[in-house]
Structure 1
Amino acid sequence: MATDPLLTPFRLKGLTLRNRIVSTSHEPAYSDDGLPKDRYRAYHVEKARGGVGLTMIGGSALVSRDSAPAFGNLQVWKDESVPWMRRLADEVHEHGAAVMIQLTHLGHRTSNYTHDWVPAVSASATREPAHRAFAKAAEQWDLDRIKDDFVRGAQACREAGLDGIELMLYGHFLDSFWTPFWNHRDDEYGGSYENRMRYPLEVIGAVRAAVPDDFLVGARVSFDEERAPGVGPQEALRIGGDIAAAGIDFISLVKGSIESDTALSRMIPPMGTPASPHLEFAGRMKRELTVPVMHAARIADVATARYAIEAGLLDLVGMTRALLADPYLPLKVATGQEDRIRPCVGANMCIDSIYTSGAAFCIHNPSSGRELEVPQVVAPAAAPRRVAVVGGGPAGLEAARVAGERGHDVTLFEAGSALGGQLALAALSPRRRDLQGIVDWRAQELERLGVKVHLDTYVEADTLAGGGYDVVVVATGGLPGRPDVPGAQLVLDGWDVVSGARRPTGRVLVYDDHGGTQALDVTETLLRAGAEVELVTPERTVSPEVGALVGAGYFVALAEGGVRQTVLRRLLSVERTPDGLLVTLGAEGASRTETRRVDAVVAEVGTVAVADLYDELVAGSSNHGEVRIEDLLALRRQSAVRNPAGTYQLFRIGDAVAGRNVHAAMLDAARLARAL
């Protein structure tokens, strides 16, 4: 493997990286009071331990107090940041990786109503749709102090022992001057190319002069903003040459813009979109640049990353989301275990959950961001036990995998003919087909671990109770719920529609009282069948649980399909009439109702736990199914004993407890199985 292009060292100015794999700057929102404390440090140290060449912290780390943190940003302007960054840098270096940080002033890309509630600033008085701030045009005193803040921020990072910084030069304050999309000034900082470049070059020059020559200063730049008026490839190449002459040592090259959800989803593509869509473009731009180039945009598999280096398209390849899914990816490549790499499926929960859940989480690696609580490496058990897992959905698969890793004798029973549960159903949607990778990877791991898998097996409680098992884990999932309204028997469920068992046409009303992707998948399925669809929800917004990056593609499809979207309306009743179905809708607190005449109604209201087997097993268990939360969170063996005569411990996880998402099911399984 010494000749693997991905594993060859690379000299970045005076710094030698051990390989070409980079975790590029991103903000997982793991900070504590804006500082990279224990959780933040553990996340990056694990990547270093896993063999990455360079890990970059602090996506959009803030140099100025007035730049309000919009998504858990590090706040480098705080003096306390230096010792925390130093500790992180020291530990990353101990494991052989380099570490840098991205510095920025967010400019207009924030909210007016957070942090210190001071006005946002930009090149011009403008508003960014994504974060909704109305920004004022920066005055000279703003420019002076922000330039000084960049200098102090760079010096603080040098003092902390980091190997370099990356200036964020797309979508934020500095590049708002050079792009005509945001810059509408008529002074010496607006109009001509030279004027628009004046302030960014001043800042770059001041930063470069303030740090030693061996301290790297890079830039992340969009080489095609894909908007009008904006910066296209030719002007971007001119910018690239000018910033390199001003002291930039490397460029992290991206394509697109980020001012709206749809634009951002093109720059950071989710599942259901082409892999590595900007790689060839990055290669063309690299040929024209004089400094090393790295690039990251859905380069999720090793073969593509290897090609990018071998073909000379990139000097360094960003595999950021792939490393969040498996921080040991580089080590597995180096040790000939590529087939064991946990795949990034592009669910983009890692980005969207920053806004929906407050931090970045991988849809199927519950340890990322929880390294201190749920270690990435599964420890062997002190003594093997016989474990039965019932259900081959995400919760059951993860429980069986982790228990197998610990050395237990594990048997998995699945009533269906294939593994995957609701994940396999969701993967039938063309937009979410990559979810199948979650199932396939675990199926492969179970085979490697010697876990016995029985498909088409509806196992009875008596069989389990008398089977000599020490532990029984019930992961039987859930079934579609029905709306509790008159005429509910006339309503179809989304599972039948997505699976193809039922395919209504004509006028179809989709009622969503769940808020996830499920109703959107149903709607797209109906559109492909030629139906005329209205999507109705009692929520204030459509699909509130769906993040911006995943949602953007769905909402484009809904717009193209002419889907009527109705919010703040609750389903009250469904009645069969000679002309089809009569649907009555109402708004909470209002007496007025309205009706629709449709050919079919499909409802998505979540799942109802399938707990029959669990209920039958409770009496014979030693713990009566009790899960002690303090044991669960501390990864201690469950200590509850409610029935000393019980012959097995009993637990249930995932949707067999309550309807939740894939990540919650994985986390249930990971916590429980690591302590069996």
Structure 2
Amino acid sequence: MAAYPNIFTPIKLNQLTLPNRIYSTAHAEVYADAGGMPGDRYIRYYEEKAKGGLGMAICGGSSPVSIDVPQGSWKPVNLTTDRVIEPMARLADTVHRHGMKIMIQATHMGRRSAYAGDPWPHLVSPSGVREPVHRGNAKEIEIEEIKRIIGDFAKAAKRVQTSGFDGIEISAAHQQLIDQFWSPRTNMRSDEWGGSLENRMRFGLEVLQAVRAAVGRDFCVGIRMCADEFHDDGLDHETLKDIAQAMSETGLIDFISVIGSGADTHNSLANCMPPMALPPEPFVHLAAGIKSVVKVPVLHAQGIRDVSQAERILANGLVDLVGMTRAHIADPHIMNKVREGREDQIRQCVGANYCIDRMYSGSDTLCVQNAATSREATMPHVISPTNGPMRRIVVVGGGPAGLEAARVSRSRGHDVVLFERNETVGGQINLAAKAPQREQMAGIVRWFDLETKRLGIDRRLGTEANAEMILAEKPDIVVLATGGRSHVHQVEAWGASEGLSVSSWDILAEKVQPAENVLVYDGISTHAGFGTADFLASRGSTVEIVTPDVKVGDDVGGTTFPIFYRRMYAQGIIPTPNFWLDRVYAEGNKKIAVLRNEYTDELEERAVDQVVIENGITPNTELYWSLKEMSINRGQIDINALYSNEAQPVLNEQTDGNRFVLFRVGDCVSMHNIHAAIYDSLRLCKDF
């Protein structure tokens, strides 16, 4: 704590005293039960942060106050009904037991939604301007509707107060209804709700007046706002400073939470939850600008993933509280680890944005590297020692699946040997980190590397294990995490074996040097294909990236593909979607790539110097087949037990050094992503 005096300095917001200056911001968890009720999963997720020492969390990103806001794929907490009071009270009581304060974000989305979902409303906005990200077609809001929604904010705030929550944050960020009124980009009205800045601010001020009247002077009320929309026709920093100052001087609010960037286009949305491609804390200067003109504490969170960053920002007086939201998705116990001098054990967020990209595809928020997050009912964040027999466990493969298997098994108290054929651990993550602006992926490996060393695992790097070596260890359990290899030989016509094409792995590992004119064929449309194209272009190659999907990087995610596209256009990479690679043949010193259109079957040819293929992986299964018949369970996982989060029944069998149990995890079963590989190992090995 002595190293972080500013972080551990208490602060008061209205009647609330927070024990430290780190908090978790409102975000769409996508965990709420039917009807928008915070259920067991939701409560456990926030309880884990409370257990971990967090001072305050603001939950329920974009929780609607009015029934004409579709519930949408982000499953928000439903603040439109009194039914929410009881489950919110359970959430508040739960986190309060651990000393954490909790608030919720309330909003009306306006045009920032899609009408095609219950209750199929006609969306409203100040001037009926369409929102491109959510395809939000809206009507021009009428004065009667304005008054109704102001009343809805007040009713929602009263529900929040009644539930025992500690405060409420009103959202005027991410281009929701309040800042739709503020912005000349979306407000072209000529009545008292539009035109001058004073008129455009009227709706937001009346919302705050109604909320304060409903909850009284002693209940904490804040506002979240943007500090620069980054649109020529939108709100700039100086105008937003004027708005913040005016809001502060009303005496209606107790804090202002500040973000940088609007969120109404795909490109600007990527700024709001800065991925690893953006520099650290990219918008803290904007928050500091707001702080310079207001009388209330300023909160800020964007791209702050390390406590040292947070301490420096606080020490310099740039803001009053620092949000580390994705950091706490990666490791909800950050504050306890800092307090106890265990900073080197913090699983640091790398900014992969797997969490937020899943949300934008309508899936629940998960962490790329922590499979326990949001699975607190079944998956442990802290591995407890076994009450059963001590076992000798051999893990083969030092990628994410193998590292997690070794870490969890050793944390259970077992004797663990880890074989890895390369001199370093990390597996395919080491390749992923080679792509430009993806270097921070290596942080996942760094944590596993430190943890497996700290736990005293017998790591045998640079050693390719075979069946004889494994059996010589007299194992009770063998976990194979041997991964896969680049799947360029799937189509014989691509000519990989004849040197007509090379794999993305060859390029990223720098086994093959980039050529001058390159065609990248991406059959998977995840990060790997585009990362390879970017790697080549960064080294001077002229690159065309071809995919059969509807767009390049189609499976990447809403906050990541815009970053890729910025790179693509800046580097002059040519995108060619909707084409299959049929075959590759040689013509003189050129490679001829024959492309087939998905929709017309017409063929096109490209004469290039190099064809690079990203086609996923094929599992490494040789070691599995050599051990399968010798194992007690013939290598089989009882999926009923696995999917029920129960111990494998075969673990009850007697093992004696000659009889062993065999399991496979990760890509050596079939191609999965990093999160899935880690989850494979956690849910299997937690019961060893």
Which whole-Å deviations, capped at 9, do the CAs of 1:484-521 have from their partners, x for residues lacking one?
14243222100111122212323221111111110111
Contact 2:282 2:302 in 1 (8 A): yes
- Residue aligning to 1:272: 277
TM-score under structure 1 normalisation?
0.97
Counterpart of 1:451 (choices 457, 480, 490) is 457
| C-alpha separation in 2, matches of 1:104 and 1:36 | 17
Distance in structure 2 (CA, Å) of the matches to 1:259 and 1:38? 33
Evaluate the alpha carbon distance shift between residue 591 and residue 299 of structure 1 in structure 2; reply closer, same or farther with a 3 A threshold.
Answer: closer
Name the counterpart of 2:687: 675
Q: Deviations over 1:214-265 (max 9, x none)?
A: 2111000112222122222222222112222330110001111111222122
Which residue is 2:19 aligned to?
A: 18
Could you tell me which of 129, 132, 140 is aligned with 2:132?
A: 129
| 2:222 corresponds to 1:221 | no
Q: Distance in 2 between matches of 1:495 and 1:591?
A: 30
The answer to whether 1:28 aligns with 2:29 is yes
The secondary structure found in structure 1 opposite 2:438 is helix
State the distance in 2 between where 1:193 and 1:421 align.
Answer: 55
Q: Which residue of 2 aligns with 1:252?
A: 257
How far is the alpha carbon of 1:335 from its aligned partner? 1.0
CA contact (8 A) 1:622 1:642 kept: no
Query: Residue type matched to 1:380 in 2?
Result: P
Please identify, of 258-267 and 551-560, the stretch whose mean Cα deviation from structure 2 is larger: 258-267
> Displacement, 1:641?
8.4
Contact 1:622 1:641 in 2 (8 A): no
For residue 286 of structure 2, what is the amino acid of its counterpart? F
1:642-674 alpha-carbon deviations (Å, 9 max, x no partner): 998971111111111111111111110111110
| Alpha-carbon distance change, 50 to 535 in structure 1, aligned in 2, over 3 angstroms | same
Matches of 2:121 and 2:426, distance apart in 1: 49
CA contact (8 A) 2:132 2:265 kept: yes
**AA aligned opposite 2:85:** V
User: Aligned equivalents of 1:147 and 1:606: distance in 2?
Assistant: 52
Among all aligned residue pairs of Structure 1 and Structure 2, give the percentage whose two residues are the same amino acid. Answer: 40
Which of 430, 434, 444 aligns to 1:438? It is 444
How far, CA to CA, are the matches of 2:449 and 2:49 in structure 1? 25
1:484 aligned residue: 491
* SS at structure 1 position matched to 2:193: coil
Offset of residue 579 of structure 1: 5.6
Q: Structure 2: how far apart are the matches of 1:284 and 1:399? A: 47
Query: Which of the numbers 404, 407, 422 marks the counterpart of 1:416?
Result: 422
User: What is the CA-CA distance between 1:355 and the residue it aligns to?
Assistant: 2.8
Of 146, 151, 163, the match for 1:148: 151
Give the SS at the match of 2:394. Answer: strand
- Residues 425 and 445 of structure 2 are in contact (CA less than 8 Å); yes or no, is this contact kept in structure 1? yes
Q: Given the superposition, is the C-alpha separation of residues 485 and 463 from structure 1 closer, same or farther in structure 2, using an over 3 Å criterion? A: closer
Task: Specify the SS of the correspondent of 1:127.
Answer: coil
* Structure-2 change in CA distance of 1:226 and 1:642 (3 Å): same
Checking the alignment, whether the CA contact within 8 Å between 1:347 and 1:435 is kept in structure 2 is yes
Deviation string, structure 1 residues 81-139 (Cα, Å, up to 9, x no partner) = 11111100000101100000000011111112222221211111111121111111111
- 2:658 is aligned with 1:651: no
Deviation, structure 1 residue 591: 4.1
Residue matched to 1:62: 64
- 2:245 is equivalent to residue 241 of structure 1: yes
| 1:624/1:642 contact within 8 Å kept | no
Q: Of the candidates 37, 40, 45, which is equivalent to residue 38 of structure 1?
A: 40
Contact residue 436 and residue 534 of structure 2 kept, 8 A: no
Q: Distance in 2 between matches of 1:165 and 1:644?
A: 57
Where does the alignment leave 5 or more consecutive residues of structure 1 unmatched?
A: none
String of CA shifts for 1:443-471, please: whole Å, max 9, x gaps.
11111111111111011112212421111
Equivalent residues of 2:578, 2:599 under 8 A apart: no
CA distance in 2, matches of 1:54, 1:538: 46
Cα displacement string for residues 140-177 of structure 1 (whole angstroms, at most 9, x for unaligned residues): 12212111111111011011110010000021011111
Question: Residues 228-627 of structure 1 correspond to what in structure 2 (within 5 A)?
Answer: 228-246=232-250, 247-356=252-361, 358-382=363-387, 383-482=389-488, 483-489=490-496, 490-578=500-588, 580-588=590-598, 590-627=600-637
Number of the residue aligned with 2:675: 663
DSSP-derived class of the 1:402 partner: helix
C-alpha distance after superposition, 1:296-329 (max 9, x if no partner)? 0111001111112222222111011111111000
Shift of 1:339: 1.2
Letter in 2 for 1:663: H
Moved more, 500-509 or 140-149: 500-509
Which one-letter code corresponds to 1:186 in the other structure? S
Deviates more, 1:214-223 or 1:584-593: 584-593
Q: Judge conservation of contact 1:373–1:633 (CA < 8 Å) in 2.
A: no
Structure 2 distance, partners of 1:537, 1:340, is 40
SS at match of 2:507: helix
Displacement after TM superposition at 1:589 (Å):
6.1
Root-mean-square deviation (Å): 1.7
Q: Is the 8 A contact 2:520 2:545 kept in 1?
A: yes
* Inter-CA distance 563–72: structure 2 relative to 1 (3 Å threshold): same
Q: Name the SS of the counterpart of 1:321 in structure 2.
A: helix
Give the one of 101, 111, 117 matched to 1:108: 111
Q: Aligned partners of 1:181, 1:589: CA distance in 2, in Å? A: 38
Contact 2:249 2:294 in 1 (8 A): no
Q: Is 1:173–2:177 an aligned residue pair?
A: yes
Measured at CA, do residues 280 and 616 of structure 1 come closer, stay the same or move farther in structure 2, by a change above 3 Å?
A: same
Q: Which runs of 5+ in 2 are unaligned?
A: none
Pairs within 5 Å for 1:153-168: 153-168=156-171
Aligned to 2:94: 91
Distance in 2 (CA, whole Å) between partners of 1:600 and 1:47 is 50
Question: How many angstroms apart in 1 are the aligned matches of 2:544 and 2:436?
Answer: 21
Q: Is the 8 A contact 2:642 2:683 kept in 1?
A: yes
Aligned-partner Cα distance in 2 for 1:156–1:503: 63
2:114 counterpart letter in structure 1: S
Residue 31 of structure 1 aligns with an amino acid whose one-letter code is A
Deviates more, 1:363-372 or 1:578-587: 578-587
